[in-house]
């Protein structure tokens, strides 16, 4: 079991991600699937930091993870809970606002329960195979639901691998979309800087012209 309660502050995100990664590593979790879990959980906690306590002082975020296993596979369930009041999402989130999309792509299931006492996000990871070398998992009393299987069938492994590749492809597509948006925004910013320079140059020329006309009028008045 993984359990952590800490202030909902951005400075705690790195330690939280490290804790989740170490917990899954201790259970010999496949690297790609472990990264998916860490990313989804990190996005859930980041959402709490950004939105749950926006109308008051920062509160706490509570993260609980449990490992579930049968004779055909294993998965983790993470609960991310806050005690705040969420603000409505912005219609123009720019670079932000993609946390729910990332969580859905990385996880097998995602649920959100909003209530008067706060919000709970439930993240259920995809099933990964039982590893023959994971003696700790096979001997753990809380995970022995039935006698362990002799092995994992090829179809199960292929299915899990296929799901992981599907999630990876979806994340890569989303990353490419975000990169394209960044390029577009960067181009707009560059164009805006160019327009600003043109405006400043035109303003200076106008001021210089006004100055020259005033000087000419003064000269004409003095000559008269």
**Percent of the chain beyond pLDDT 90?**
31
Q: In this structure, are residues 44 and 99 in contact, taking their beta carbons and an 8 Å threshold?
A: yes
Of 181, 182, 69, the C-alpha closest to 134 is 69
**Is residue 143 pLDDT above 50, yes or no?**
no
Residue range 85-138, pLDDT digits in tens: 766 555 444 434 578 889 999 999 999 998 888 899 999 999 999 875 444 444
In sequence order, what are the residues at sequence separation of 6 or more whose Cβ sits closer than 8 angstroms to the Cβ of residue 36?
Answer: 106, 107, 125, 126, 164, 167
pLDDT of residue 90: 53
> Of the ranges 8-17, 24-33, 89-98, 189-198, which one carries the lowest mean pLDDT score?
89-98
Q: Average pLDDT, stretch 59-76?
A: 92
pLDDT of residue 214: 81
**Is residue 33 pLDDT above 90, yes or no?**
yes
Residue range 127-136, pLDDT digits in tens: 999 875 444 4
SS3 content of the chain, % helix, strand, coil (to 5): 55, 20, 25
Of 17, 2, 129, the C-alpha closest to 66 is 2
Q: Average pLDDT, stretch 217-223?
A: 79
Q: At what angle do helices 99-106 and 31-47 cross, to 10 degrees?
A: 150
Give the residue extent of every domain in the chain: 2-150, 153-224
Q: Which CATH class is domain 2-150?
A: alpha beta
């Amino acid at each position: 079991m993984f359990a952590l309660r800490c202030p909902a502050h951005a400075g705690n995100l790195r330690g939280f991600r490290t804790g989740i990664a170490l917990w899954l590593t201790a259970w010999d979790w496949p690297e790609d699937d472990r990264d998916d879990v860490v990313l989804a959980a990190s996005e859930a906690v980041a959402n709490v930091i950004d939105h749950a306590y926006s109308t008051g002082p920062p509160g706490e975020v509570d993260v609980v993870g449990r490992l579930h296993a049968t004779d055909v596979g294993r998965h983790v369930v993470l609960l991310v809970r806050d005690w705040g009041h969420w603000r409505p999402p912005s219609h123009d989130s720019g670079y932000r606002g993609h946390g729910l999309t990332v969580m859905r792509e990385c996880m097998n299931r995602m649920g959100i329960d909003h209530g008067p006492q706060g919000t709970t996000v439930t993240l259920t990871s995809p099933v990964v195979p039982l590893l023959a070398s994971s003696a700790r998992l096979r001997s753990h009393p809380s995970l022995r639901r039935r006698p362990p299987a002799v092995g994992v069938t090829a179809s199960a492994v292929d299915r899990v691998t296929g799901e992981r590749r599907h999630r990876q492809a979806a994340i890569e597509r989303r990353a490419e979309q975000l990169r394209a948006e960044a390029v577009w925004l960067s181009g707009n910013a560059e164009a805006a800087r160019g327009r600003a320079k043109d405006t400043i140059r035109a303003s200076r020329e106008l001021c210089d012209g006004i100055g020259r006309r005033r000087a000419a009028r003064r000269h004409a008045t003095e000559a008269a």
